[in-house]
Amino acid sequence: MLHLVLCWHFHQPDYRDADGRYQLPWTYLHAVKDYADMAAHLEAAPNLACVVNFVPTLTAQLLDYADQFATGDVRDPLLDRLLDPLLDELAPAAKRNLVEQCFKVNHPTMLEPFPAYRRLYTLWKTVEEIGEAGLTYLSGQYLADLVTWYHLAWTGEAVRRSRPDLLALMEKGEAFTLAERRALFDLYGEVVGGLLPRYRRMAERGQIELSATPHSHPILPLLLDFGAAREARPDLPVPVAPAYPGGAERARVHVDAALADHAEHFGQPPRGFWPAEGGVSEAGIRLLSDAGVKWAASGEGVLRHSLSALNLDLSRKAEWSTTPYLLPGTDTALFFRDDHLSDLIGFEYKGWFGADAVRHFIHALEEVRRHATGSHPVVSVILDGENAWEYYPYNGFFFLSELYAELLATPNIRTTTFCDYLEVFPDSPQPLSRLVAGSWVYGDFATWMGDAAKNRGWDWLVAAKQAFDAAPADRRAAAEPLLRSCESSDWFWWFGDYNPADAVESFDRVYRQKLKRLYQTLGATPPDYLNHPLCHGGGGMEAGGVMRRGG
């Protein structure tokens, strides 16, 4: 018997600026397209077990959006446009921004299948050739149809199949009225407002395990020790600052806040964690163990590096990758993601016929089962629960439906959760004498540290933390939420010129704005370098207010 843990990771960066306004709309769009569809697939397969990981900052944004829908106090500019009765009065810059946003979809799966939406795009490409003057040809009705179609395209396939009113709007295709746009707004509100209760019900009946991530998605090992970045990459450039001030205390703050937040919204604290980006280190696991966390998971690359450091033969993967591990002196079992199987779903199967992809996946699992040598082999398939599906036909509807059905029908494969597996096989974790710090991305931390812009971002954060530590207690209490947000890994993921320019600019701008507000909340003057883009020279390392290392 092969035990399979499917772990779907639900995360969106905190897209709110320092004033609580949303700079990007991806949280509510993914909620209606992906988190709702994922819930529907699980509800349709009540005997299938899996783990669903909620990051607290995602939970907070979902609750904030539910409030926006309920009260009409909309703090997301794009969502506000859906209700705007005066679209024909938009200034040219606002009109261009709206049009460009409303074509940010994967065109083959989310635009091309809809002739009316496709016509709007064709018209825009024609008008765009004229330049700025061409914007005057786009009427208020064009914009109304466009913003409506954008939201229709971002509805999940399972949502569409359950809502005749939604299908009626899609069938109409054009000339949408303000009343119809308000109806679509209300539909979004129903879906978003119902999400957390749906997942909580599935957890309470024992079908799924809900896990968490440290509160604002920080890379715990880097908060604890910048040197962790060099365990897997000894030559990696690191920030000028030698360490993050008070990093161990800040890491505990994020863990404790996640435990409390999860208990508040889901009825009990999480028993397991997917650390942000699967980022683990020996110090990080000891921290989780001290907090009573029963399991944590990371990437296969981390396990490879750890076993390689012990000079073990890694040629037969099924022998070492299908068991949990345990560091000496800790009580947190470690599971490691099967990169091949996870990436098949995340990146490969999008271009396959659904039934063929499912057969291939089941065959790959059977191959693991045949070569595994342990008594109770377990495979961990861990990936985002949202980002892959827009590249699948029908939002992955047929692939996921058939996958769940086939897993339930395959006698030699048992779906389970991390906690359930440990309860049934409490002696299964094997000793791991060394854990090389790293993440799910190549088993290292180069995605968040090493690039000049990333390191500059860390040094700016260190300087802000030094100002935080020097402030009076009442100021620190007021600034705590901002500091937690600035410690998120999401900023550092995007810093670097190799990323898409518009995404880099957005995350750079919001990060600097939050740092400035942090200083202001502390009663301090923000450094001038925060007025300049971090990713294009910024203010230099010394400008970050951090002492340069000797040597």
For position 500, what pLDDT does the model report? 87
Q: What pLDDT, on a 0 to 100 scale, did the predictor assign at position 271?
A: 98
Q: In this predicted structure, what is the pLDDT of residue 550?
A: 27
**DSSP annotation of 536:** G
Rounded Cα–Cα distance for residues 353 and 356 (Å)? 5
The residue among 251, 255, 250 whose CA lies nearest residue 270 is 255
Indicate the pLDDT class of residue 407, thresholds 50, 70 and 90: very high
Residue 374 Cα to chain centre, angstroms: 33
pLDDT, tens digit, 9 for 90 and up, residues 410-446: 999 999 999 999 999 999 999 999 999 999 999 999 9
Identify which of 70, 54, 63, 65 has the alpha carbon closest to the alpha carbon of residue 22. Answer: 65
Q: Is residue 533 part of a domain?
A: yes
Listed residue (329, 80, 97, 105) closest to 181, CA to CA: 80
User: In 3D, which of 68, 71, 58 has the Cα closest to residue 15?
Assistant: 58
DSSP string, 30-97: HIIIIIHHHHHHHHT-TT--EEEEE-HHHHHHHHHHHHHHHH-----HHHHHHT-TTGGG--HHHHHH
Q: What is the pLDDT of residues 221-265, one digit of tens each?
A: 999 999 999 999 999 999 999 999 999 999 999 999 999 999 999
C-beta neighbour count of 23 within 10 angstroms: 16
In a domain, residue 462? The reply is yes
| pLDDT for res 402 | 98
Tell me the whole-structure pTM to 2 decimals.
0.95
| pLDDT bracket for residue 192 (50, 70, 90) | very high
Is 482 inside a domain boundary?
Answer: yes
Torsions phi, psi of 103, nearest 5?
-115, 15
Least confidently predicted of 76-80, 86-90, 128-132, 359-363: 128-132
> Collapsing DSSP states into helix, strand and coil, what is residue 337?
strand
- Measured in Å, how far apart are the chain's first and last C-alpha atoms? 57
* Residue given tokens 């009109």 in the structure block: 95
What is the average per-residue pLDDT within 78-91? 97
User: Do residues 506 and 23 make contact, with C-beta atoms less than 8 angstroms apart?
Assistant: yes
pLDDT the model gives residue 382: 98
Supply the DSSP string of 379-426, one letter for each residue. EEEEEESSTTGGGSGGGGHHHHHHHHHHHHH-TTEEEE-HHHHHHH-T
Overall number of domains in the chain: 1
When pLDDT is cut at 50, 70 and 90, the band that residue 539 belongs to is very low
How long is the chain? 551
Alpha-carbon dihedral sign for residues 354, 356, 362, 365: negative
Cα–Cα distance measured from residue 280 to residue 277, given in angstroms and rounded to the nearest whole number: 9
C-alpha 256: how far from its chain's center? 20
For residue 351, what are the contacts with CB-CB under 8 A and spacing of at least 6?
Answer: none
pLDDT score of 535? 86
pLDDT tens string 298-331: 999 999 999 998 888 898 898 999 999 999 999 9
Task: Note whether residue 511 is domain-resident.
Answer: yes
What pLDDT sits at residue 547?
Answer: 28
What are the Cα distances from residue 474, in Å, to 249, 256, 480, 522, 523? 18, 20, 10, 9, 11
Give a yes or no: residue 550 inside a domain: no
Given a contact cutoff of 8 angstroms between Cβ atoms, the answer to whether 153 and 111 are in contact is yes
> What would the 3-class secondary structure string for 175-201 be?
CCCHHHHHHHHHHHHHHHHHHHHHHHH
pLDDT at 172 over 70: yes
- For the residues 272-281, what does the mean pLDDT come to? 98
Q: How many CB atoms lie within 10 A of CB 283?
A: 18
Q: How far apart are CA 426 and CA 420, in angstroms?
A: 10
Examine residue 493 and state whether it is found in any structural domain, yes or no: yes
502 pLDDT band, cuts 50/70/90, is confident
Q: Supply the range of the domain harboring residue 474.
A: 452-543
Structure tokens at 273: 């964690």
Name residue 514's amino acid. K
How far is 536 from 533, CA to CA, in rounded Å? 6
Asked, for residue 539, whether it belongs to a domain, the answer is yes
Q: Identify whether 319 is part of a domain.
A: no
